[in-house]
Structures are given as C-alpha cells and as structure tokens.
Amino acid sequence: MDEFTDYIASLDGSVRDAVERVRARALELVPDAEEGVSYGMAALRYRGSPLVSARATAKHIGLYPFSPPAIEALEALETDLTGFSTSKGTIRFTSDRPLPDDVLDRLILFRRDEIDAMHRR
C-alpha cells in the first residue's frame, strides 16, 4: 500500500511539493523504509517502526519523527531549529520556509539510528 504517496497526491501545489520532499529525502537516506500508517498518519516505517511523517494543516506542515529525543537532539544544537516552531513530537514549517536539507537529514538519520539501536537490544 502507498499510504504516504496517496496522501501527498491529495495535496496541492507547494504544500504537496514540500511534503513530497520529506518523503523522497527519507527514502533516499533510508531506502529500506516502507509506506504505511503510524498513529493514524500516513508515514514511512523502517524495520516495523514509524520513521517519519509530514502532515499539512491550514497554517503549517508538521514533521513527525515519532521521537521526542530526535527533536531534542536538534534543539540542543540551538541554531538548527531557530525560527521553527517545535513541540515534544513535531517540527512545524511551511512550504515558503522549509526545513534546511541538513536539518531534515539529521532528523531522519537520528530516527533511523534510534530504530536500529532498538533492534540491537
């Protein structure tokens, strides 16, 4: 099933492009990720665990790494998320102001490594 692809196809214009960028980058960095559903959202899953999702709202796009420690790790670097709204499980951005590539990459790779570590235990 292609839940994330189908969700992206339902979006319009620059919002669709911004969410697709997240999906495409995650698949480039974690080619074994598969489309699925996590916490009721279309998402990419890796080794049976949620890797990342992005959902559009009226005012922003929420990026969900399904890992508060992933967001905390970026916040600890202070400059990475300057100007972006965050909460325990979300980073908010817009199609006009997307997350920088290096921030998106670090978040995805952190979550991948976190899932790999869970499987080594």
* pLDDT digit string (tens) for the chain, length 121 residues: 589 999 999 999 999 999 999 999 999 999 999 999 998 899 999 999 999 999 999 999 999 999 999 998 888 876 678 889 999 999 999 999 999 999 999 999 999 999 999 999 8
Among the listed residues 15, 87, 27, the one whose alpha carbon sits nearest the alpha carbon of residue 57: 15
**Residue 59 and residue 70: Cα distance in Å, rounded?**
23
Q: Check: CB of residue 13 under 8 Å from CB of residue 61.
A: no
Angle between helices 68-76 and 101-120 (to 10 degrees): 130
54 is written with which tokens?
């992005």
Task: Give the domain extent around 88.
Answer: 3-120
Domain tally for the chain?
1
CATH number of the domain within which 20 lies: 3.90.1150.200
Model confidence, pTM: 0.92
